[in-house]
Amino acid sequence: MKFWKFHKTDMLQDFRFDPILRRFYEYGIVGLVRENIQNSLDARFSNGDPCIVRIQTGTLSTKDIPGAHEIFDHVKALQPANEYSKEAVEHMNDHLGKDRYRYMSFEDENTKGLDGAYDDVESRKESSYYAYAYSKGMHHYEKDEEIEEIRGGSHGVGKIASNSASIFNAMFFSNCDKNGLKTIGGTVELMEHELNKEKLRATGHFGKNEGDEVYPYGIEELSSLDVFKKDTRGLKLIIPFLEDAFDDQDEIIRTVCDSFLKALIDEKLVVFVNENEINSDTLQDFITDEHYFEQELSEIKDRFALLYWHTLSKDPLIEDFKVSNKDKWFHFKLHFVLDNEISEGRTGVFRSIGMKIEDMKIKNNVRKPYNAVLIPHSSKEDKYLKSLENESHTKIDYEHINKKWNRQKAKYFINELNRKMGEIIEEHMMKDDPMDGIMDTRDILYTIENEFKSDLKRKLSPLNIGKGKSKKKIVKTQDTDEPGRSQRNKKGKHRKQEHYKPVKKQFGNEGKKTYYQFRNSAVRRTVLENKERLYIKVGTLPYPTYENDKISSGNILVSLVDGMGKEYYDEIDLRAEYREVEDRNQIKKLTVDKHVIKGVDLSNGDIHLDIKLRNAEATIKNVKLRYYLEV
């Protein structure tokens, strides 16, 4: 009995894999998890109960995978024509004939599943089962227009996402419909090939023939394994021969929290990843766990779930945030937070189903200390956002829109969104940093520092004079302390510099002496409501040490930096700002003088201090500080 059915063709023409396979493979776990959970949310019942998705990973014996050896035979027959296809086929051949393979499955509950698995030839093409199982580039449309508008699906393209995660581009789907009918189908995406003197098309369908039509098997006909069973209404996807790149439980959990944060908070979604349950109650445990997400706000460069979670906990800044596309107005709720510890400003654009589309970078505001969340008011806005999504649902864009007028309107909408968000960011930063007060100057100093570096590089670059190889000379226009060729790594880049530099400074009446100024990149400062956490990377100590006189502690001197980069050691009194300083390396309370923290432990190669502020309105929370080591 043959399990996999390939339609015959008169002439082999296409010796390439479907290019969508490669694109979804490059999207990785993020693309796979987003696509499949989104499809489950689309099929959720409107009964108020959450959609439940169970993601499992494990190992299957080859003999328990229906038709596995048939797939192997088809793979052996492939004759690729381009470099990418050759590499892909070689990769497949390297994995042929193993006794066991890894798998991943997605099973949903409180969803509609697929209907019409055994419909007659005339009516089956209108069924959701046929659209999912046998057609490319289309999906089954909901009769309810509003439900259809808020669906997140990619109109059939994303169905191939599961195939892309399989070494042999194979996937199964078990289905339980409204009548309790339990079936199993599947697809394998190869290329046109010849096997047993038959010319075959690229796509194989798992099922049994009835004339020219393919119909699914009943689950009970094939396997008693739990991995293929589907006992409740809904759909279950099984990806055998799982690629190593997709076999990462931690990354699956991160993607669920990051991509479906709003759906989890709103109790529209519950996800099980093996034994881990992610729901509205447990979500906080995952996004505040440093194993999954960066916890230092200043270090969050991607995976902004923690920031969005904090932002969504606040009331909307604007209940009716309006953006036009020249033709219509679109209405959103805007949640907004300004926090000087945030180093990467992003606006999370969410769909009504609770899935995030994009961590949007607002023009000229990427490094502003804000976080925002944009939520559609109705299906009208949701439908428009859907029309702007790229294929992987990770960005709103206009380039893919064919009609010129619609593309122009989309471009205008995105530009208007950028402009209005920029105005809000600037307005709140001005409120936070008034001209007559102490300013947070990180963005200013960042710009000045980078402009200075660029100017310096242009002015001090080597100068070539003479002609020809024999006469070529290198003359420096001016002496510089930039690292020379001997100080660069093999790729030509400068080796990573130390975390500090020696400087001659005078603090108070002590006279000038050498201190070690920590670079900005070595300092992580997290300020909370009434406490502060200070982490400074020291690395190798800046002086010769011997076993008998090894220096294990030092003092940290603190100065305040104004908007022009000028320092003031006497404008700050740590005793008035700090109630208590604890060294976490030695679990010891430290002594604080006016601008000095004394007796800091250096033995671990870093400094880690917990600081309790005297009050939540402490001035020191909102100013830029510079740190020096005294030994």
* pLDDT tens profile 582-597: 998 888 899 998 889 9
* pLDDT at position 439: 47
% residues pLDDT > 90 (the chain): 54
Confidence of residue 432 (pLDDT cuts 50, 70, 90): low
Which of 272, 297, 293 lies closest to 282 in space, CA to CA?
A: 272
* pLDDT at position 542: 59
Judged against a pLDDT cut of 70, whether residue 546 lies above it is answered with no
Which of 18, 21, 17 lies closest to 32 in space, CA to CA?
A: 21
* pLDDT at position 498: 67
Q: Which pair of structure tokens corresponds to residue 115? A: 């209907």
Least confident of 91-105, 139-153, 337-351, 364-378: 139-153
% residues pLDDT > 70 (the chain): 83
Judged against a pLDDT cut of 70, whether residue 143 lies above it is answered with no
Judged against a pLDDT cut of 90, whether residue 166 lies above it is answered with yes
* pLDDT at position 222: 76
Judged against a pLDDT cut of 70, whether residue 198 lies above it is answered with yes
Say which residues have a Cβ less than 8 Å from residue 492's Cβ, sequence separation at least 6.
none
Contact 284, 292 (CB under 8 A): no
Q: Which pair of structure tokens corresponds to residue 616? A: 């939540």
H/E stretch holding 448: helix 442-459
Mean pLDDT, rounded, for 481-491 = 45
Instruction: Supply angle C-alpha 512, 517, 521, rounded to 5.
Output: 170
Tens digit of each residue's pLDDT (9 = 90 or more) over 296-347: 888 999 999 999 999 999 999 999 999 999 999 999 999 999 998 899 999 9
Listed ranges 12-26, 261-275, 531-545; the one with the highest mean pLDDT? 261-275
Give 361's strand partners: none
With b for 16 or more beta-carbon neighbours within 10 A and e for fewer, the 208-242 pattern comes to beeeeebbbbebeebbeeebbbbebbbbbbbbbbb
Tens digit of each residue's pLDDT (9 = 90 or more) over 385-394: 988 988 777 8
The packing angle between helices 83-94 and 68-76, to 10°, is 140
* pLDDT at position 455: 53
pTM for the model: 0.68
Confidence of residue 368 (pLDDT cuts 50, 70, 90): very high
Contact 553, 601 (CB under 8 A): yes
With b for 16 or more beta-carbon neighbours within 10 A and e for fewer, the 85-100 pattern comes to beebbeebeeeeeeee
* Domain-wise residue ranges, the chain: 4-247, 297-432, 442-478, 500-630
What is the DSSP code string of 20-75?
A: HHHHHHHHHHHHHHHHHHHHHHHTB-SSSPPEEEEEEEEEEEGGGSTTHHHHHHHH
Give the Cβ contact number of residue 573 at 10 Å: 14
